[in-house]
Structure 1
Amino acid sequence: MNKLKRTEIFTRLRNENPNPETELEYTSPFELLVAVALSAQATDVSVNKATRKLYPIANTPEAIYALGEDGLKEYIKTIGLYNSKAKNVIKLCKDLIELHGSIVPDDRKALEALAGVGRKTANVVLNTAFGHPVMAVDTHIFRVSNRTKIAPGKNVDEVEQKLVRFIPKEFMMDAHHWLILHGRYTCVARKPKCGSCIIEDLCEYKDKIEID
């Protein structure tokens, strides 16, 4: 795919949604960090349902750490892998308290050193909470990048590198949100809604499905 086509794709996505936001609900970098950590292999909807009950009770590293693993599990037990996630979040809170004065670090290396925080989670926090022009690649973005040929790659690291290299700078800040929303609601896994897709004529997917 050439540069002009990529530019037009992101221009259309921006025109349709000028100010995209994550669907995870949060009011602070810490709430976002915990929500993203909980969202691994789970839907944003399920995470929001849990955090709507959790955050009014505990939304700081100290407060969640005080709950302990068992206490936290009561709030997140409807989310997949809640046992391991509770363990990681409690350790994450402990590390934030002891190493960072309870402040979420605006630094990739420091974020990735926290329990349960990998590159994708760090990228989401850096982009959404701190405004870094970085790209977090999840299953939706991986699929859209390969299917449209915006940035095809064999693994998430390769796709991330290509997206960062190929996406025009003016779109980088919001590109993560546009791509994830496009993959979640239009370019869905089983039957992409090609007939109602605003970039269908630019997409290089060979097996387009005409569904309005």
Structure 2
Amino acid sequence: MNRDKRRAIFERLREANPQPTTELEYRTPFELLVAVILSAQATDRSVNKATSPLFEVADTPDAILELGEDGLRAHIRKIGLFNSKAKNIIATCEALVTKHGGRVPHDRKALEALPGVGRKTANVVLNTAFGEPTMAVDTHIYRVANRTGLAPGRTVRAVEDRLMRWTPRAFLGDAHHWLILHGRYTCLARKPRCGACPIYDLCEFRERHHYAEVEAD
């Protein structure tokens, strides 16, 4: 895929959604961090259902530490892997209080040092909370990048690096959100909605004609 086609793809995605954002509900960088930790192997909808009442009673590291692991677990018990997530969030809150004055650090290395925070989570926080041009490659972005030919790669990191290198800088701030939403609602894993795709004619997916016909039927 050449540079002009990549630019055209992002222009189309921007036209369809000029101000994309995460579907996780949050008010502060800390709330976003907690929500992203909880979102691993869980839907944003299920996370929002849990964090809405949680953040009403505990929306700071100190407040969550006061809840304790059992109290936190009671709020998130309907989310997958809630036991390990509760442990990580408590440990992260302790680190934020003791090492960062209760604030979420605006620094990749410091973020990735927090329990339960890997590169993808750090990228989400850096991009969404702090406006950094990062690319948090989840299963949706990995699929879209490979299927469309936008930035093919055998590993998540390879896709991230190529997207960062090949995405026109003017689009980098929002590209993460556009690609996730495109993968979540249009470029679906099993039955992509090619007939409703705004970048259909720019996509290099070999089977797009078949799925467009299925969509039409």
What CA deviation, in whole Å up to 9, does each residue of 1:134-182 have, x standing for no partner? 1100000000000001000001000000000000000000000000000
Unmatched tracts of structure 2, length 5 or more? none
Distance 1:122 1:100 in 2: 16
Distance 2:79 2:201 in 1: 38
Distance 1:198 1:113 in 2: 39
- Matched with 2:189 is 189
- Matched with 1:164 is 164
Distance 1:160 1:21 in 2: 19
Distance 1:70 1:203 in 2: 48
**Alpha carbon RMSD of aligned pairs, Å?**
0.5
Give the TM-score of the pair, scaled to structure 1: 0.99
- Matched with 1:146 is 146
Unmatched tracts of structure 1, length 5 or more? none
Amino acid at match of 2:158: E
Distance 1:119 1:66 in 2: 28
- Matched with 2:39 is 39
- Matched with 1:116 is 116
1:95 aligns with 2:82: no
Give the TM-score of the pair, scaled to structure 2: 0.97
Question: How many residues align structurally?
Answer: 212
Amino acid at match of 1:71: G
Q: Which runs of 4+ in 1 moved over 3 A?
A: none
- Matched with 1:10 is 10
Offset, 1:45 = 0.4
Offset, 1:68 = 1.0
